[in-house]
């Protein structure tokens, strides 16, 4: 009994001569659909393609091995139904050289076969993680030392803002982290440049309109709302019998201020009111005759 595909799955299997983007949840059958699509491409139509003419890339070696195994099993099954098919016999042989691999392995395959076109020595090798980490750290150390020697105003301001104590280890860690993150983008320098533009702010008004400001304001409002809840609890305690009534006026005053702050809708309003906040002096609890556990 054959597999029963959904309408969308069957459409992915059958569509040809166009780009297709398939977005589906984990466990929804993407691999099975892709295998079926490949099998149909190499077995059906007037001019079925050879399996080694296809490029099938995955993110992990395990996924690539599973894909190759599934395609091989599907070819063997088709060959059982058509044992005299020379084309299927050929596919079973070619699958061992088919490009069913990870993205980085395919890139390495291309470089090894075309090293002479990019002026690369044929005996090159891929550095392991330990070697690459040491190389990055050496390069970064050289960059930092060079900047410390020149000490431009821009670098001095950067160092003042991020160097903690006598060590710049956190700065180096931050730079490496930023580098690794940027390299996950197809055009890392463009991404880094766009990040700089987000902080080129001439005045407070422009800062309030920055795309990163709204999430910050939402976070501050959340923190303020939590403080309001705690102050309300504290205020209730001051009103209880034997409670610390000596603190009631101060806590009531703080509660009113933080309720006003929590109600602010934007950065400018929050900035104006937060910078103007003053706190009343907490009175002494000497002579308090209530429950000391509530102080």
pLDDT in tens, the chain (295 residues): 467 888 888 998 888 888 888 888 888 888 888 888 998 888 887 788 899 999 998 888 888 898 899 889 988 988 898 888 888 899 999 998 899 999 889 999 999 999 989 888 888 888 888 999 999 999 999 999 999 999 999 999 988 888 887 788 888 999 999 999 999 898 999 999 888 887 788 888 888 888 888 898 889 999 999 999 999 999 998 888 877 888 889 999 999 999 999 998 888 888 888 888 888 887 776 655 655 555 5
Residue closest to 58 by CA, chosen among 44, 47, 69: 69
Burial of 45 (0-12, 13-18, 19+ CB in 10 A): exposed
Could you tell me the domains of the chain? Answer: 7-118 (3.40.50.300), 129-197 (no CATH), 213-294 (no CATH)
Q: Give me the pLDDT at residue 1, please.
A: 46
Q: Give, as one character, the DSSP assignment of residue 97.
A: G
Using CA atoms, how far apart are residues 262 and 264, in angstroms rounded to an integer? 6
In sequence order, which ranges of the chain are alpha helices (DSSP H)? 7-14, 30-43, 61-81, 86-94, 103-113, 129-150, 153-162, 169-182, 188-197, 204-208, 213-239, 248-262, 267-275
Q: Give me the pLDDT at residue 146, please.
A: 94
228's tokens: 């309001």
Q: Give me the pLDDT at residue 23, please.
A: 85
Q: Give me the pLDDT at residue 5, please.
A: 87
Residue closest to 238 by CA, chosen among 227, 249, 230: 249
3-class DSSP assignment, residue 100: strand
Is the separation of the CB atoms in 231 and 258 below 8 Å? Answer: yes
Is the separation of the CB atoms in 123 and 116 below 8 Å? Answer: no
Cβ contacts of 168 within 8 Å, gap of 6 or more: 144, 159, 162
Is the separation of the CB atoms in 75 and 91 below 8 Å? Answer: yes
């Amino acid at each position: 009994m054959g597999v029963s595909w959904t309408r969308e799955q069957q459409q992915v299997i059958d569509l040809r001569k166009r780009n297709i983007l398939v977005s589906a949840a984990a466990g929804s059958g993407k691999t099975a659909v892709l295998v079926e699509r490949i099998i149909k491409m190499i077995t059906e139509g007037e001019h079925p393609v050879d399996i080694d003419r296809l490029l099938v890339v995955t993110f992990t070696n395990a996924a690539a091995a599973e894909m190759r195994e599934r395609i091989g099993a599907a070819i063997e099954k088709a060959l059982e139904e058509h044992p005299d098919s020379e084309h299927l016999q050929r596919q079973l042989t070619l699958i061992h050289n088919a490009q069913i691999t990870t993205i980085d392995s395919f890139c390495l395959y291309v470089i090894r076969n075309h090293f002479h076109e990019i002026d690369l020595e044929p005996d090159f090798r891929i550095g392991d993680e330990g070697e690459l980490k040491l190389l990055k750290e050496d390069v970064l150390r050289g960059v930092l030392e060079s900047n410390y020697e020149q000490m431009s105003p821009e670098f001095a301001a950067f160092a003042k803002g991020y160097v903690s104590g006598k060590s710049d280890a956190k700065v180096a860690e931050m730079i490496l982290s930023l580098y690794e993150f940027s390299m996950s983008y197809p055009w890392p320098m463009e991404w880094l440049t766009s990040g700089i533009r987000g902080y080129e702010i001439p005045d407070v008004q422009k800062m309030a309109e920055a795309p990163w400001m709204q999430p910050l304001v939402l976070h501050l409002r959340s923190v303020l709302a939590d403080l309001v809840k705690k102050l309300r609890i504290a205020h209730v305690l001051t009103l209880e019998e034997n409670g610390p009534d000596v603190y009631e006026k101060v806590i009531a005053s703080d509660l009113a201020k933080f309720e006003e702050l929590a109600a602010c809708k934007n950065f400018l309003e929050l900035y104006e009111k937060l910078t103007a906040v003053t706190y009343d002096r907490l009175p002494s609890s000497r002579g308090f005759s209530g429950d000391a556990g509530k102080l």
